[in-house]
A and B are shown apart, each in its own frame.
Chain A
Amino acid sequence: MAELAQRRSVGLSNPGAWIGHVLDGERLFGFVLVAPAIIYIVLLVGYPFAIALWFTVSNATTAHPIAEFTGLTNLLAVWDDDIFRRALANTFIFTLTSQALQMILGTGLAFLLLKQFRGRRFVRGLLMIPFTIPIAIGAMAWTWMLNPTYSVINWIGVHAGLFTQGPNWLGEEYPAMISIILVNVWRNLPFSAVVLTAGISAVPQEILEAANLDGANWWVRWRKVIVPIIAPILYIALLFSLVFTFTDMTVVWLMTRGNPVGATHVIASYAFQTGVVAGSLGRGATMSLFLFPVLLVGALLLLRNLKARTID
């Protein structure tokens, strides 16, 4: 009774506490807290997304954003575009190759970083550098390192006797693709390594020892003990870096602009080229729409796995 009276008096004298009591219903409280995020996302992601969908079936351009309905014209035109098909294939090649390399190298790096050695923190700090540098800056540094005339990489290669004259990295088709993958791996490897390190170090030592006693070799330990335990973390890491790589146009745009002759475009960079540089909003939006279903399916699969694992 006295407690109730005390609550009342707090409620009257302190507006903050009064608001707190009004919001004390769990449902209302939850909705009020999430509301700003939902409103922001609806206004600045949902609404533009709807406009983008409208663009894909219209002939909107930057000069004439109010457009007419043109049905599937954009889709058919985009599908007939050889450069776009190439960009579509490139997007998968770049993403999957980078991801695979990141996971393999990241696992190796994680095991190295899990050892106790002098200067471990310092080494770890150095290894994080690519991830901490703005991607546009990193891409520019690599563009300069791969410059046709002043490439330091070619200088080292020639002087180490690897080749007599280095390739024009960003000017030839395959070297350019390799360069772009290389920069993506360079950039995201620290992220994979850190997440994997954190995951592996969370595996209880006793379980590993038990597996050891049972005669499990490292591959079995990795496959049957470590991976199942760190899977939820692995999925989050995979999801994040897939998203980063799949939708990124920065590396391609800064390093090659999609050249030579459109051979290195990804969907994102070609959509930018078409939608912003050339001003064809409809075509550009149609191109980037190709990114969405893949991301959606991937994300839903990963999230389902994630949920299943956390419940266990």
Chain B
Amino acid sequence: MATIAQHRVTHSTAFRVRRLRNQILFWSVIALFVIFACFPVYWMFVTTFKEVNDLYNLQNNPLLFHLPPTLDQVRYLFEQTNFAKWVENTAVVGGAVVIITVLICVPAAYALARVRFPGSDSLGIGIFLTYLVPPTLLFLPLSQLVAGFGLNDSKWSLALVYPTFTIPFCTWLLMGFFKNVPREITEAARVDGCSRLGAMFRVVLPLSVPGILTICIFAFTLAMQEYVYALTFVSSSDEKMITLGVVTDLIRGDVFFWGSLMAGALIVSIPVAIVYNLFMDTFVRGITGGALK
């Protein structure tokens, strides 16, 4: 009797120790990953709010503030650069890209996912493959095309060109969503007298609102993040979108305005990071196609 009880106690202590060890190990690994992921953001934050004298003083511990935090660098960004204009350009161009993308992708993805017509499989793959044509190959001829449209050094050149990558990406994302809507629902609507177009608008699209919202978000953020085409087509500061503006206009000659550069980086990153995080699950559901329920 006594041996059994004692045996049980030692067993549970060992178990507890092992569990504690596992817990510590687990959280250390998590901590390492979090530091790796977030340290650059912390560094942007510190750089943004430091006094210049503190930032460039090699005697100080760079991770901490030695002089009180300041808004000077943020003020410089707003007052001495075209930052407000870049935000406006981003909203306008991003909005235009979203509209073009939705108007083109929704019908295309619907047809490829739900309608049986000759060659639909190859068309789907064809659209997907265009995603693999790198900007590095297209920017040279596209710069000629853009000039032909009279859009040289204009933000509208970007609204014209960005759908070349948002369309394939979003079409494939959306196809996943449309495939998840059971065929029986459309068939039921058809039996009830709906046309194909009617079934699409009244039955499938309302059920796919999360999917359509997701592609809006991805179209916008893909456009906002783009750097190569922007760098190639746009050189006037007034016409830049936010990402290009921040990473090019705050380097004057050999002088990097790190404080203001990181301030801009932070301002661009925070809203996008929040939105992306909110929609990450929807994104994953879309990108994995019909494989996930």
Contacts and interface: CB of A to CB of B under 8 A. Distances in A.
Interface of A: 3, 6-7, 16-17, 19-21, 23-24, 26-27, 29-34, 36-38, 40-41, 44-49, 51-52, 55, 62, 65, 108-109, 112, 115, 117, 123, 125-142, 144-145, 149-150, 152, 155-156, 186, 189-190, 194-195, 197-199, 202, 232-233, 236-237, 240, 243, 246-247, 249-250, 253-254, 267-268, 271-272, 275-276, 281, 284-285, 288-289, 291-292, 295-296, 299, 303, 310
A140 B261 contact: yes
Interface in B244-293: 244, 246-247, 256, 258, 261-262, 265, 268-269, 272-273, 275-277, 280, 283-285, 287-293
Contacts of A24: 195-197
Interface stretch (B10-18, B66-74, B75-83, B161-169): B161-169
Interface stretch (B1-9, B91-99, B115-123, B208-216): B115-123
A132 B276 contact: yes
B180 interface: no
Nearest to A269: B136
Interface in B129-167: 129-145, 160-161, 163-164, 167
Nearest to A156: B63
A132 B195 contact: no
Contacts of A108: 29
B141 A51 contact: yes
B262 A292 contact: no
B86 interface: no
A65 B152 CA distance: 15
B104 interface: yes
Contact of B167 (A37, A138, A156, A189): A37
19 contacts: A29-B197, A33-B107, A34-B107, A34-B120, A36-B104, A37-B167, A38-B123, A41-B164, A128-B273, A128-B280, A133-B265, A137-B265, A140-B246, A144-B258, A144-B261, A186-B37, A202-B293, A236-B288, A299-B128
A36 to B, nearest CB: 5
B133 A292 contact: yes
A29 B116 CA distance: 10
Given A36-B107, A250-B228, A26 B117 contact: yes
Per DSSP, chain B at the interface is helix
Given A30-B117, A37-B167, A133-B269, A288 B195 contact: no
A285 B168 CA distance: 22
A37 B291 contact: no
Contacts of A30: 111, 115-117, 120
Given A135-B227, A236-B288, A20 B277 contact: no
Contacts of B33: 109, 112, 127
Contacts of B104: 36-37, 40
Interface of B: 26, 29-30, 33-34, 36-41, 43-44, 47, 55-56, 58, 61-63, 103-105, 107-108, 110-112, 115-118, 120, 123, 125-145, 160-161, 163-164, 167-168, 171, 193, 195-198, 224-225, 227-228, 231-232, 243-244, 246-247, 256, 258, 261-262, 265, 268-269, 272-273, 275-277, 280, 283-285, 287-293
Contacts of B63: 152, 156
A195 B289 CA distance: 11
A243 B273 contact: no
A27 B285 contact: no
B253 to A, nearest CB: 15
Contacts of A243: 131-132
Contacts of B225: 134-136
Nearest to A108: B29
B164 A288 contact: no
A190 B273 CA distance: 12
Given A41-B167, A132-B269, A49 B38 contact: no
B115 A29 contact: yes
A207 to B, nearest CB: 15
A19 B117 contact: no
Contacts of B290: 310
A202 B34 CA distance: 25
A132 B117 contact: no
A18 B15 CA distance: 72
B289 to A, nearest CB: 7
Nearest to A247: B134
B141 A49 contact: yes
A199 B288 contact: yes
A18 to B, nearest CB: 9
Given A150-B58, A285-B140, A295 B269 contact: no
A297 B277 CA distance: 33
B173 to A, nearest CB: 11
A32 B163 CA distance: 19
